[in-house]
Structure 1
Amino acid sequence: MWRRLIYHPEVNYALRQTLVLSLPVIVGLLFGQLQHGLLFSLVPACCNIAGLDTPHKRFFKRLIIGGSLFAGCSLIVQLSLARDVPLPVILTALTMLLGVTAEISPLHARLLPASLIAAIFTLSLAGNMPVWQPLLLYALGTLWYGLFNWLWFWMWKEQPLRESLSLFYRQLAEYCEAKYSMLTQHTDPSTALPPLLTRQQKAVDLISQCYQQLHMLAANKNRDYKRLLRAFQVGLDLQEHISVSLHQPEEVQKLVERSHAEAVIRWNAQTVAARLRVLADDILYHRYPSRFSMDKQIGALEKIADQHPDNPVGQFCAWHFSRIARVLRTQRPLYPRDLMADKTRRLPVIPALKSYLSLKSSALRNAARISVMLSIASLMGTALHLPKPYWILMTILLVTQNGYGATRVRIFHRAAGTLVGLFIVGGALHFHVPEGYTLSAMLVITLVSYLIVRKAYGWATVGFTVTAVFTIQILTLNGEQFIVARFIDTVIGCLIAFGGMVWLWPQWQSGLLRKNAQDALEADQDAIRLILSNDPQAPALAYQRMRVNQAHNALFNSLNQAMQEPGFNTRYLEDMKLWVTHSQFIVEHINAMTTLAREHTMLTPDLAQRYLQSCEIALQRCQQRLEYDEAGSSGDANIMESPETLSHGALSTMEQHLQRVLGHLNTMHTISSVAWRQRPHHGIWLTKRFGKTTLQ
């Protein structure tokens, strides 16, 4: 029981965040310096946003950089205010200066909003204490936050990676169970496929997250992570075999009608899913896996395959489920592989600065957008006679996310949570509860809020609002006067953030669909070339297979975000949704062909060359259809027609997959020709050639 409590991801996270916030308050209370303890506990908010609690091989280096930026921003704000520099000018200069961090790496990009929040906190402190005191507060607060988290991660050294691996195994279980329970339940792909695609993309997202954690921790060089590295490679093997597809619905229907294959396949899938959930718990709660065998299930599947040798579905399922069973039984990967190289873009400062100064830089556009929003908020504060509109500014930074959809959801949750929290605290302040009970309630509310913040941000905002107003009450003894004003400030900040995401250089994901589709086709082409080469090596195959999955994942995610964006032609997006569905089928065929190539199930050199030529012709037709802006078939005249017949007689499994890939590519080309007429006719879509667009 205690393992499930202490190792549970939400509990572990909530305990860490609550302790790092509450311990300074407790120490301040014991020494009669409660106000200083409360101020000290505000610094971890900046550190959280900056990602300084992320385990990293350069943990202390990032800590020093973060603390220096917080203190530096605080000093600049105080000196500028002392010289009567307008607040919009201060915030614009800081934002544009710190925006270069996004060009260094995604993790460094989090330093921008965190440093700006440190500057906004300084607005409420400037003039109330000496200049050096906020600097010391940020320096010591960041040091405390770093040392606490270092000690915490030393005690729970493998826990972040364990949590990601556990989620990965659990997602694989859900995907496997859902995929093989829909053999005959849903005959319409438009209703059956979207839930499967969502689950598959979640699994790929978790794979990418595990890769990032492995590289940030330098786990390859750390023997403590040996078992987790093996569990991750086992998960990659499982994902490879679970996500394959023969995609012959008519053959599936024939086999189901002639035998009880549907029940047997579902039995195998449910057994695999149940085992994956057990392994997910074993990884998370530090338990050794128990023995496992599914010989009966595999035997029943092989019996059906033997009884129907003319139907490829039974043999296909029996082969892949037998590999899955072997991996689950031995808990070892099917083959030794080198993990993918860290491809995260990280530039030194000078090259990053050069890239940042380009008008094509997305980091520059993002910094400019934030600076304009903060300037508008500052001017709004002046119009409302607020000399320090810190709550409006902070709301903008807290609700602004990377995309339109995420920002809209965060705005709704923030506004609703703030309203409910202010309503609750407004009633509670009338009772004049003693300070000791108030602090105890704040501690409990903080713990509960962090327990639910990942899954219910709106309800967590209720708790954070209550603790924030009580903090103001203890510091200034006039918290009731802030209730209505804070809600108005929250609404103003949310409206400014929403307007900024819609009208200030928006990075619409529907405009990125074409670029992401091109990237997915290029990854498919590289994978097919490698699979059909003379001697494909297992590590290279594994690396390219994951590139294909991740490229399609970026396309799928951009489509999901584009479907939520305003002002775009829904018919075009529906057509692109069908295009992405066929792209997913190609990914599944590449997963299956990767396993065959690794097992040396190869074609003859002549036949492989002919299939490669046909696939490249089909891929180039799709690429040119996306590249050229005309609505007709321009650009297709220079493309060779694919051969009608590539082989005679019975097709091998590899050939069946390649034939299906060619069919999907042909369908995707047709969809592109139709969808292009429905595309939006404004902004970046007016560019004539894809190669000349400024999409980033």
Structure 2
Amino acid sequence: MWRRLIYHPEVNYALRQTLVLCLPVGIGLLLGNLQLGLLFSLVPACCNIAGLDTPHKRFFKRLIVGGTLFATSSLIMQLLLLYTAVPLPIILMVMALLLGVTAEISALHARLLPASLIAAIFTLSMAGNMPIWKPMVLYVSGTIWYGVFNWFWFWMWREQPLRETLSLLYRQLAEYCEAKYGMLTQHADPETALPPLLARQQKAVDLITICYQQLHMLSANQQNGYKHLLRSFQIALDLQEHISVSLHQPAEVQKLVAKSHAEAVIRWNAQTIAARLRVLADDILYHRYPQRFTMEKQIEALEKIARQNPDNPVGQFCHYHFSRIARVLRIQRPLYARDLMEDRQRRLPLWAALKSYLSLKSAALRNAARLGVMLTIASLFGAFLHLPKPYWILMTVMFVTQNGYGATRVRILHRSAGTIAGLAIAGIALHFHFPQSIALAAMLVITLVSYLFIRQSYGWATIGFTVTAVYTLQLLTLSAEQFIVPRLIDTLLGCLIAFGGMVWLWPQWQSGLLRQNAHDALEKDQDAIRLILSNDPEPTPLAWQRMKVNQAHNALFNSLNQAMQEPGFNSHYLADMKLWVTHSQFIVEHINAMTTLAREHNMLTPDLAQRYLQSCEIALQRCQQRLQYDGPGETQDANILDPLEGLPSGPLSTMEQHLQRILGHLSTMHTISSVAWRQRPHHGIWLNRLRRSD
């Protein structure tokens, strides 16, 4: 019982965040300086947004950089406000543009921009009420406390972050396997059956990407303590490879189901695998040794169906992949030894990042300018409302602004609704005049409960945080009731400004980025097919290239999902793109299956492999050229050979069947593109007549 409590991801996270916030308050209460303890608890908010609690091989270096930026932002804000006549809007704009270069260094460094701006906004509320050095010391000491506490916490649960991700990955693979093979007769129409499977496949690949990033950040390959988790991750890669292969043969599936009880047997196998994966997910999360496992009866029943229907490829297909999944789950070792290639993303040195940042094409520059303009507008609204320090509007803008339109819209809705409910609850509670001890105990419980829900429902967590924020003001000023209505107005203003900024200030519409992501996905497909059809493909590059294909397709799928939530999109264009992405997913699944065959040396003759490679490259070239030009497709493709010319007909090997289906999907994708690109929405400068790579 205690394992399920202490190792549960939400409980572990809530305990860590609550203790790092509330211990300084408790120490301040014991020392008779509660106000300083409450102010000290503001610093972890900056550290959380900056991602300084992310386990990393450069953990303390990132803490030093973060604490230095917080203190520097605080100093600049106070000096410019107290000793110069520089208006607040200009200060915020300049700080946003200066700190924006962090996003060019790496994605993790990019989180330092909003965190440093929030540190400056917190300082705005304290400027003039205490000496200049005091907020700086507060930020430095608070960051040190935050770093030491989290280092100690991760030292006690060294492997827990990776365990949580692996557990989620195994659960997602279980859901994907159960959904894909549970009801085969429902998969006859890909337009209705595939989107739910795509969403599950996307989540699995996203979790695999997170695992790669965590392994790279922790240098886990060089630490003996992570060996069993590395083995679990490699097992998950094998499972994903065999679960996410293409079974899109509706006619053959229907024939097999009509002639035998194959559907029940395949569902039995899938449910057995899914149940075992859920057990392994709990074993990984709660530090338990896995029990013995076998599914011989299920595999024998599947083998019998494949033997009774030798002319139907579905039976052999399922037996081949399920038997290998069963072997992995039985021996609890990966099918082959692979070296996990580290994440190829590198952080840029400061000077190189600065050079890239000073370009009008820089996404980091646009994001920093967007934040700067939104903060400028928020400060001007504060001046219009005669607010000397409009810190609440500014903080709301920072808290609700996310990377994309859809995420920002959801955060705004949760923030505004949670704030209204929290202020109403706090306003009622203030009339009861609870003693300080009861108020602090209630704040502790509310903080813990809020952190239990924050990763699942930001709106419910906002209710709790709003109540604790009001009571913090009450303990600091003894007059929190007069802040309730102004804070509500400030929150709604901040949400409106953030929404307007994401819609009108240089938005990066995902519907406009679909073409670039589609081109990247085709390029990764081409690289994978070249590697698979090479003379002697090595297992490690094969596995890494397969994951890059899956990740590129996921980027395209994410863009499509976000584009469908954007205002004013072209429904016909996105419907065509949804079909295009569906066929792209089939290609990904065929590449997954071909990777397995290539690793087991189920290869074509060199001459036949070369002919198929040329045909695939011709088909991919046609699709890529159709993505590059807005004009009619016929003029651009007139001089390109037919990719199906010169290929063998008649009985085909398994590898040839996959390649033939890939060519068929590419032909359909080219036809769809000829219609889709001409009716797509034009969102400003992100689409040109010729696609220009950055």
Shorter-normalised TM range: over 0.9
Q: Secondary structure at the match of 1:293?
A: coil
Give the match for residue 7 of structure 1: 7
- The residue identity in structure 1 corresponding to 2:341 is M
Whole-Å separation in 1 of the counterparts to 2:190 and 2:534:
33
Note the C-alpha offset of 1:679. 1.2
| Overall identity of the aligned pairs, in % | 79
Alignment of 1:126-141 (within 5 A): 126-141=127-142
Whole-Å separation in 1 of the counterparts to 2:619 and 2:186:
33
Give the match for residue 294 of structure 1: 295
- The residue identity in structure 2 corresponding to 1:34 is L
Q: Is the 8 A contact 2:183 2:267 kept in 1?
A: no
1:118 to 2:125 alignment: no
Deviations 1:612-651 (A, max 9, x none): 1111110000000101111342210121112345224311
Whole-Å separation in 2 of the counterparts to 1:681 and 1:408:
22
1:59 to 2:59 alignment: yes
* Number of residues of Structure 1 aligned to a counterpart in Structure 2: 693
Give the match for residue 391 of structure 2: 390
Alignment of 1:90-489 (within 5 A): 90-489=91-490
Give the match for residue 683 of structure 1: 684
Q: Secondary structure at the match of 1:474?
A: helix
Q: Is the 8 A contact 1:628 1:634 kept in 2?
A: no
- The residue identity in structure 2 corresponding to 1:215 is H
- The residue identity in structure 1 corresponding to 2:149 is F
Whole-Å separation in 2 of the counterparts to 1:240 and 1:681:
37
- The residue identity in structure 1 corresponding to 2:134 is Q
Range moving further from structure 2, 633-642 or 506-515: 633-642
- The residue identity in structure 1 corresponding to 2:234 is Q
Q: Is the 8 A contact 1:625 1:633 kept in 2?
A: no
Whole-Å separation in 2 of the counterparts to 1:119 and 1:290:
53
Note the C-alpha offset of 1:325. 0.3
Deviations 1:308-337 (A, max 9, x none): 000010001000000000000011011111
Give the match for residue 620 of structure 2: 619
Deviations 1:180-209 (A, max 9, x none): 013103432222111100000000000000
Deviations 1:396-436 (A, max 9, x none): 00000000000000000000000000000000000100000
Note the C-alpha offset of 1:682. 5.0
Q: Secondary structure at the match of 2:642?
A: coil
Note the C-alpha offset of 1:687. 1.6
- Structure 2 portions without partners, runs of 5+: none
Whole-Å separation in 2 of the counterparts to 1:384 and 1:26:
37
Note the C-alpha offset of 1:247. 1.7
Whole-Å separation in 2 of the counterparts to 1:356 and 1:182:
51
- Structure 1 portions without partners, runs of 5+: none
Q: Is the 8 A contact 1:100 1:356 kept in 2?
A: yes
1:565 to 2:566 alignment: yes
Quickly say closer, same or farther: Cα 1:426–1:31, change in 2 above 3 A: same
Q: Is the 8 A contact 1:74 1:119 kept in 2?
A: yes
Whole-Å separation in 2 of the counterparts to 1:145 and 1:73:
18
Give the match for residue 661 of structure 1: 662
Give the match for residue 610 of structure 1: 611
Q: Is the 8 A contact 1:182 1:192 kept in 2?
A: no
Q: Secondary structure at the match of 1:634?
A: helix
Whole-Å separation in 1 of the counterparts to 2:453 and 2:512:
34
Normalising by structure 2, we get a TM-score of 0.99
Whole-Å separation in 2 of the counterparts to 1:111 and 1:304:
58
Give the match for residue 26 of structure 2: 26
Whole-Å separation in 2 of the counterparts to 1:686 and 1:219:
41
Q: Is the 8 A contact 2:509 2:683 kept in 1?
A: no
Q: Secondary structure at the match of 1:370?
A: helix
- The residue identity in structure 2 corresponding to 1:490 is T
Whole-Å separation in 1 of the counterparts to 2:595 and 2:683:
41
- The residue identity in structure 1 corresponding to 2:222 is K
Q: Is the 8 A contact 1:240 1:592 kept in 2?
A: yes
Q: Secondary structure at the match of 1:388?
A: coil
Whole-Å separation in 2 of the counterparts to 1:254 and 1:531:
31
Note the C-alpha offset of 1:85. 1.6
Deviations 1:328-358 (A, max 9, x none): 0011011111112321231000000000000
- The residue identity in structure 1 corresponding to 2:180 is K
Deviations 1:431-487 (A, max 9, x none): 100000000000000000000000010000000000000000000011000000001
Deviations 1:524-582 (A, max 9, x none): 00100111111111111101000100000100001100010012211101100100000
Q: Secondary structure at the match of 1:15?
A: helix
Q: Is the 8 A contact 2:520 2:552 kept in 1?
A: yes
Whole-Å separation in 2 of the counterparts to 1:686 and 1:114:
32
- The residue identity in structure 1 corresponding to 2:610 is Q
Q: Is the 8 A contact 1:511 1:684 kept in 2?
A: no
Give the match for residue 639 of structure 1: 640
Deviations 1:28-64 (A, max 9, x none): 1111110000000110000000000000000000000
Give the match for residue 72 of structure 1: 72
Q: Secondary structure at the match of 2:301?
A: helix
Deviations 1:235-274 (A, max 9, x none): 0000000000142110011000000000000000000000
1:42 to 2:42 alignment: yes
Q: Secondary structure at the match of 2:77?
A: helix
Note the C-alpha offset of 1:684. 3.0
Q: Is the 8 A contact 1:631 1:676 kept in 2?
A: no
Whole-Å separation in 2 of the counterparts to 1:536 and 1:641:
27
- The residue identity in structure 2 corresponding to 1:594 is T
Deviations 1:119-144 (A, max 9, x none): 00001111100001001100100000
Q: Secondary structure at the match of 1:288?
A: coil
| RMSD across aligned positions (CA) | 0.9
